Structure 1
Amino acid sequence: KAGHIPGAVFWNATDLLLSDQHTNFDPVAIEELLARSGITNDTTAIAYGDHPATGGWIFWLLKVFGHRDVRVLNGGRQKWIAEGHPLTTEPPIITPTVYHAQAPDPSLRASREYVQESLGQTERVLVDVRTPQEYSGEWFYNKPPEGTERGGHIPGAVHIDCELALNKDGTFKPIEALQSLYNGKGITADKEAIAYCAVGARSGYTWFILKYLLGYPKVRNYDGSWNEWSKLSDLPVEK
């Protein structure tokens, strides 16, 4: 079904990712994006997309830059449609603003170096939220150049497909079910959780679940994810 929620501003991946599929952490670029979207520092931003992961990823990114009031539309666009709410194909009327982004918060991200330091540390747990086929190295989300393919996962990473956190309608599962899902894999609140996927989007919404739905105090998103790790031949890989 064509259309968007009335008043919604459109962002696509090129607004948020660099050409190498890494997240754009340039504060000036973020300021320009939010300003031309009509968003001020005091705006309530509600993120959604066709897949629930989109909202959680945008939530994480805006929090990295210090936006105060960010929310996720539970179930995204598909749930909105299923409940009979209206869509429109009319573009919104936007009044540009001035936005002041904070410097990126390093405590919400995990760099490649930080992930390397975390290998073998019992107080940190790596969470691979990709599909089973990606985790095992059978399939690539982003097919690398021929001859550089390295499938698999970061050594020691616990696998929990991000889709397991969702109900069939795309909404988040109840808190008790989420606690059981993550605790059952050793991802507990007393450890620092570092989530990753292919480009940091699916792991961004896993970050949202762990940090905001379950209240874990220490959660990071490795936004470089497999797109970065797999291309560096000196880094270890497991299958």
Structure 2
Amino acid sequence: MNALTKRITAVATAIAIAAVPAVALGEDGALVTADWLAENLTNPDVRVFEVSVDTGVYERGHIPGAVNLAWHTDLVDTVRRDIVSSQGLEAILQAAGVTEDTTVVLYGDNNNWFAAWGAWVFDIHGIHDVKLLDGGRKLWEAEGLPLDTATPEYAASSIDLPDDAAPLRARLVDVLEVVEGGADVSLVDIRGPKEYSGEIFAPEGVQELSVRAGHIPGAVNFPWGGAVNEDGTFKSADELKAAFAAIGIDGTKPIITYCRIGERSSHTWFVLSRILGYEVRNYDGSWTEYGNAVGVPIDNPSGTVWGKI
């Protein structure tokens, strides 16, 4: 083998190695494993973000190099009820040094609850291949992988996000087209059974934000936590397909997910859309909008009216 042949072989091998998927599951590479991330913590083409329910946990220790995103300030419009604007997210990504070629990985506590919501927001604004750390913070800590308390600094980038949002968001009018207009769309309520039935307004310890209890007529119930294993990792695609098929959700028609304020339902959006490849929108107005809307029908199997039986 001459020198030129050796060089061509070496380059081809390097390209082949670089092309190996950095993901664990999902039709479009939706997840990365903890092992893969641990090996790529210093990779300049990988940027990690933490989006946790407990916004203070980042300061107590986070994955080295991870940038903190506070869900209630960084990823929302703080003046109106809305997600962060394209320009707002663009500024965050530029400050974190994210480019068009960066592999973006999100993770968080509570089985990646708000990390999945962050992935939905990123996807809406043009970061379509954002990935979740399978198992999230729970698995990372359980495996004794490194944590850091330092706040990372990166050279700013010039990434430019599109102004037009991806069609991943459902509005009240879209839901009413299903409920009252007969649109052939599946509704998936991912709250707990007691919320779905109207027995309670919100999970214990969570503020009640709606004046009526129950669910959107025609919606099926799939509590969001049913998509993950005990260690926080997602169940296999086959298991997820079977679980959703059992309640009539098989991807043959469009889907809208919802919960109380749209964050838990983004976790199910991620499962159905990014792992199973179904056509899904997340209704982030969710029950706090629908349950408070005037003149819209609800279903309340528990028979509660204004909090009374």
* TM-score normalised by L of structure 2: 0.71
Give the 3-state SS of the residue equivalent to 2:225 in structure 1. Answer: helix
Choose the corresponding residue for 1:143, options 181, 191, 208.
Answer: 208
Give the 3-state SS of the residue equivalent to 2:186 in structure 1. Answer: strand
Q: Partner residue of 1:209? A: 271
Give the 3-state SS of the residue equivalent to 1:33 in structure 2. Answer: helix
Choose the corresponding residue for 1:219, options 270, 280, 302.
Answer: 280
Give the 3-state SS of the residue equivalent to 1:15 in structure 2. Answer: coil
Give the 3-state SS of the residue equivalent to 1:107 in structure 2. Answer: coil
* TM-score normalised by L of structure 1: 0.90
Q: Partner residue of 2:170? A: 110
Choose the corresponding residue for 1:9, options 64, 67, 72.
Answer: 67
- Report whether the alignment pairs 1:194 with 2:256: yes
Give the Cα separation in 1 of the matches to 2:226 and 2:128: 29
- Give how far 1:94 is off: 2.5
1:35-184 superposed matches below 5 A:
35-51=94-110, 52-119=112-179, 121=182, 123-137=184-198, 138-140=200-202, 141-144=206-209, 149-184=211-246
Give the Cα separation in 2 of the matches to 1:45 and 1:169: 23
CA deviation string 1:85-133 (max 9, x = no partner): 1001111123222231113435211111111101263731100011222
Q: Which structure has the greater CA radius of gyration?
A: 2
- Report whether the alignment pairs 1:26 with 2:118: no
Contact 1:55 1:73 in 2 (8 A): no
Structure of higher RCO (CA pairs closer than 8 Å, 6+ residues apart): 1
Over 3 Å counting, the alpha-carbon distance change for 1:143 and 1:196 in structure 2 is same
CA RMSD of aligned residues (A): 2.0
- Report whether the alignment pairs 1:237 with 2:298: yes
Q: What amino acid sits opposite 2:233 in the alignment?
A: T
Q: What amino acid sits opposite 1:62 in the alignment?
A: F
Give the Cα separation in 1 of the matches to 2:76 and 2:176: 23
Give the Cα separation in 1 of the matches to 2:225 and 2:183: 26
Structure 2 gaps of 5+ residues are 1-56, 301-309
Give the Cα separation in 1 of the matches to 2:81 and 2:271: 22
Give the Cα separation in 1 of the matches to 2:214 and 2:78: 23
Contact 2:77 2:84 in 1 (8 A): no
Give the 3-state SS of the residue equivalent to 2:167 in structure 1. Answer: helix
Give the Cα separation in 2 of the matches to 1:81 and 1:35: 29
Over 3 Å counting, the alpha-carbon distance change for 1:20 and 1:167 in structure 2 is farther
Task: Give the stretch that moved more between structures: 51-60 or 159-168.
Answer: 51-60
Give the Cα separation in 2 of the matches to 1:31 and 1:142: 32
CA deviation string 1:36-71 (max 9, x = no partner): 232223221101101222222222211111114311
Give the 3-state SS of the residue equivalent to 1:72 in structure 2. Answer: strand
Give the Cα separation in 2 of the matches to 1:19 and 1:139: 25
Give the Cα separation in 2 of the matches to 1:81 and 1:104: 38
Give the 3-state SS of the residue equivalent to 1:220 in structure 2. Answer: strand
Give the 3-state SS of the residue equivalent to 1:127 in structure 2. Answer: strand
- How many residue pairs get aligned? The number is 235
